[in-house]
Amino acid sequence: MNAVSEAALTTAIHVNGQRLWDSLMEMAKIGATPKGGVCRLALTDLDKTGRDLIVQWAKEAGCTVSVDQMGNVFMRRAGRNDDLPPVMTGSHADSQPTGGRFDGIYGVLGGLEVIRSLNDHGIQTERPVETVIWTNEEGSRFAPAMVASGVFAGVFTLDYGLSRKDVDGKTIGEELQRIGYAGELPCGGRKIHAAFELHIEQGPILEAEHKTIGVVTDAQGQRWYEVVLTGQEAHAGPTPMPRRRDALLGASRVVQLVNEIGLRHAPLACATVGMMQVHPNSRNVIPGRVFFTIDFRHPRDDVLAQMDAELREGIERIAEQGKLETQLEQIFYYAPVPFDKACVNSVRAAAERFGYSNREIVSGAGHDACYLATVAPTSMVFVPCIDGISHNEVEDATIEWIEAGANVLLHAMLERASEPG
């Protein structure tokens, strides 16, 4: 096998776009939904089936596979100097309940395609190359999101990560054991030379501006909250309107408040109530308890702090007005993330080498790369998705975009994996 210097990188070294597309479509059969999407919630039997197939493909590509205590799967292609810290890529294989065929899994299979393409071209990298499946990125079954990459980066403790529960009370640790992905490798504490994550944009900017590649420079900060409003259940008929302590009415007012906060800090702020559980959820009972979630995002930490203050003041006012008790807990936070300039430049240079139209972009979504950036030089590669739609069964992309992103990933990784110790 031959080594490739940065000067020798040409478009003759490229991925097999059709093979990558076929792999994505094969994975899309696992947990397929009627509208063309997927449902592979973290650590379910379908998630195990998907992981098993990816591991099989990785071994067929000559990778060694290891699993850490949070179930993160590392698929490693050896380097000429295999003791050097690796160049890493990857994303997640779990999905939303009504997820798409590309969110997360494109980054995993794009990384696998990099390894397959290195094999095709007979290239030996100086450093090892690794592709990773990060556990529970979505945060749909187990909150918070990106918990396993967070443990890897030291943001959360291992005990915290393993103890996260779903709505049925099952923990991440229990489900990892059940599906056979409770590894023994320590989670974190490893040196990484550089890391990249390939992902669909999940927004409309690239497609609207006819750009093929998003060179991701930063990621928005996020705050996630869980809120409980408690009033009093009462009969919907005999209870006069002025005497009611309606928890759902209070929650509705908080939903309006959240929307107002987002609009007040436009155009970069995002504010969402995405989940709500009403108790006792009976048609002729005034709701006595409502649980719901709030998601705040902004690329400036001071603005996020202001949004937090406005939320707390507003909930206190609404609770007093409705004679409600409140519990407000911030369960997830990370500050805005500036990605490594050298890694960003590697992405930009690769896009230019192939002649792909590109622009700098800030990620509006959270990604495992955001936590990885706290322990390793990291950046991301975005490609468009049709109409900017994601977290939806109709999420879609073209094979041309998919191939272009993987080509950029291949060259960015090759450049960094060719660097000596």
In angstroms, the CA 78 to CA 98 distance is 37
CA neighbor of 275 nearest in space, from 262, 293, 295: 293
**Band of pLDDT at residue 7, cut at 50, 70 and 90:** low
High-pLDDT (> 90) share of the chain, %: 94
Count Cβ neighbours within 10 Å for each residue of 172-181 and write b for 16 or more, e otherwise: bbebbeebeb
- Contact by Cβ (8 Å): 269, 307: yes
- Contact by Cβ (8 Å): 91, 197: yes
In angstroms, the CA 405 to CA 212 distance is 8
In angstroms, the CA 401 to CA 413 distance is 18
Over residues 52-62, mean pLDDT: 98
Map the chain to HEC letters: CECCCHHHCCCCCCCCHHHHHHHHHHHCCCCECCCCCECCCCCCHHHHHHHHHHHHHHHHCCCEEEEECCCCEEEEECCCCCCCCCEEEEEECCCCCCECCCCCHHHHHHHHHHHHHHHHCCECCCCCEEEEEECCCCCCCCCCCCHHHHHHCCCCCHHHHHCCECCCCCEHHHHHHHHCCCCCECCCCCCCCEEEEEEECCCCHHHHCCCCEEEEEEECEEEEEEEEEECCCEECCCCCHHHCCCHHHHHHHHHHHHHHHHHHCCCCCEEECCCEEEECCCCCEECCEEEEEEEEEECCHHHHHHHHHHHHHHHHHHHHHHCCEEEEEEEEEECCEECCHHHHHHHHHHHHHHCCCEEEEEECCCCHHHHHCCCCCEEEEEECCHHHCCCCCCCCCCHHHHHHHHHHHHHHHHHHHCCCC
pLDDT at 217: 95
In angstroms, the CA 390 to CA 398 distance is 14
pLDDT digits over 143-190, tens only? 989 999 999 999 999 999 999 999 999 999 999 999 999 999 999 999
pLDDT at 204: 95
pLDDT at 9: 87
Over residues 415-420, mean pLDDT: 96
- Contact by Cβ (8 Å): 359, 282: no
pLDDT digits over 213-259, tens only? 999 999 999 999 999 999 999 999 999 999 999 999 999 999 999 99
Average pLDDT, the chain: 96
pLDDT digits over 189-209, tens only? 999 999 999 999 999 999 999
In angstroms, the CA 5 to CA 317 distance is 63
Over residues 296-312, mean pLDDT: 95
Over residues 128-145, mean pLDDT: 96
Over residues 352-375, mean pLDDT: 95
* Domains of the chain, start order: 6-220+336-417 (3.40.630.10), 221-334 (3.30.70.360)
**Band of pLDDT at residue 366, cut at 50, 70 and 90:** confident
pTM for this prediction: 0.84
Q: Which residues, 6 or more positions from 393, have their beta carbon under 8 angstroms from its beta carbon?
A: 33, 34, 35, 36, 37, 38, 98, 99, 100
**Band of pLDDT at residue 6, cut at 50, 70 and 90:** low
| Pairing verdict, β 73-77 and 87-92 | unpaired
Residue 72: CB atoms within 10 A of its CB come to 25
pLDDT at 351 over 70: yes
